[in-house]
Amino acid sequence: MNETIAALSDKTLLGLPATDLALAMAAALAAYLAMRLVLRYVIDRMRKIAQHTDNRIDDMVVDVLGSTNRVFLLLAALLVGVGMLDLAERWNQRVGQLWFIALALQTGLWFTKAISFGLRRYESRHSSAGMTQVSASAVLLSWSMRTLLWAVVLLAVLSNLGVNITAFVASLGVGGIAIALAVQNILGDLFASLSIAVDKPFEVGDAIGIGDMSGTVEHIGLKTTRLRSLTGEQIVISNTDLLKQVVKNYRRMNERRIAFKFGMSYRSAPEKLEAIPGIVKRLIESRPALRLDRVHFQAFGQSSLDFEVVYFVTSADYGLYMDEQQRLNLQMMREFERLGVELAIPTQALYVAPTEGRRAVAKELATQD
């Protein structure tokens, strides 16, 4: 046995003793097996912890660690073995650079997996039926973050290899500014789409109003949002212009406030007019879907005595509001007929002066001339 060891120690391979190479290979194999066992233990432990917690951080850790590349483990084990050899200084420097490259690439893979996990969570939390721009925004965000991540990894590797990246970074900055200026409108719409997906001021199927336009949201894309107007045509508006305006979302109304007026004839007696607010109040309060705010004799109009009524419909359903308003109008007409008062009809009275009066006026005008 001693003779065998002595014989191996006398042999060399690539200028290194065979015994040193054998020890390095054994150390590499041991390091590989140890890293595999430790990684498996940590993943199993974190998976058990994740099953008893509600947060998603431990789930992400399990997902990220599970994506560890076996090639990285093999390369790391080989570098451990190589590190045990008595190499020249320049080769030790190369080994250090390989360590950095391997760690940088594996870190990039870990962060890529974390980005994918986070975007899946984002999509599951913000997506809903018809929200097609969520997945599109997730793809855009994923592409942007991964591009930035691997650009940083590439620059770090080049810098570690001794490459002067200052001019390269400056060129990327100038090129990025030029591209951003060229596509600033498109980028504005893309980020506006992302803002709509996250903030959700409206969703597909919502009835919204924008300025003097209104309609139902049919599609929310990366660049434009499409509405179907009440008259049937499709309205296409860019996401940037859309978010610059006040958006009224009718679907999210909890209740609908209604204010309307009606006028009574000037021939109505004050005692009967005094009973009208009580009648209207009783009619509104008899309906479970309505909530009265106020009823008042508001003003003396040109041809009517004006009353104002304000009430709430405890639902955003427009059809329910119209049904209740129609029922209220018919009931008011019946009650006013029983009370003996009439709704006002717009009229104008023309008073004609007698003949003598007209002559006096004409004489007075002639005298002034």
Tell me which of 264 and 100 has the higher pLDDT.
264
Tell me which of 332 and 84 has the higher pLDDT.
332
Q: Which two tokens stand for residue 354?
A: 């007698």
Provide the 10 A C-beta neighbour count for residue 227: 24
What's the pLDDT score for residue 254?
Answer: 82
130-139+158-252 and 256-339 share one fold:
no
Tell me which of 288 and 18 has the higher pLDDT.
288
Tell me which of 182 and 22 has the higher pLDDT.
22
Which one, of 288, 331, 284, lies nearest residue 309 by Cα?
Answer: 284
With 80 as the cut, is the pLDDT of residue 194 above it? no
- The set of residues, in sequence order, having a beta carbon less than 8 Å from that of 226 and lying 6+ positions away, is 217, 218, 219, 220, 234, 235, 236
Which one, of 255, 258, 247, lies nearest residue 316 by Cα?
Answer: 255
With 70 as the cut, is the pLDDT of residue 352 above it? no
What's the pLDDT score for residue 130?
Answer: 47
Residues forming beta bridges with residue 238, ordered by sequence position: 224
The mean pLDDT of the chain is 78
% pLDDT > 70, the chain? 74
The model scores a pTM over 0.75: no
Q: How is the chain split into domains, by residue range?
A: 2-126, 130-139+158-252, 256-339
CA distance 347 to 360: 29
What's the pLDDT score for residue 85?
Answer: 67
What's the pLDDT score for residue 365?
Answer: 62
Q: What confidence tens digit (pLDDT) does each residue in 19-64 have?
A: 667 777 887 788 788 888 888 888 888 888 777 777 677 777 777 7
Tell me which of 231 and 165 has the higher pLDDT.
231
Mean pLDDT of 113-119: 80
With bands split at pLDDT 50, 70 and 90, how would you rate the model's confidence at 262? very high
With 90 as the cut, is the pLDDT of residue 295 above it? yes
Buried (b) or exposed (e) across 185-207, using 16+ Cβ within 10 A? eeebbbbbbbebbeeeebbbebb
With bands split at pLDDT 50, 70 and 90, how would you rate the model's confidence at 12? low
What's the pLDDT score for residue 348?
Answer: 66
Mean pLDDT of 207-217: 86
Which of 98-102, 177-181, 224-228 shows the lowest per-residue confidence on average (mean pLDDT)? 177-181
What's the pLDDT score for residue 364?
Answer: 66
What's the pLDDT score for residue 185?
Answer: 66
CATH architecture, range 256-339: 2-Layer Sandwich (3.30)
CATH architecture, range 130-139+158-252: Roll (2.30)
Residues forming beta bridges with residue 16, ordered by sequence position: 13
Q: Locate tokens 């970074």: which residue?
A: 169
With bands split at pLDDT 50, 70 and 90, how would you rate the model's confidence at 359? low
CB 285 within 8 A of CB 309: no
Mean pLDDT of 160-164: 74
Tell me which of 41 and 308 has the higher pLDDT.
308
With 60 as the cut, is the pLDDT of residue 7 above it? no
What's the pLDDT score for residue 137?
Answer: 61
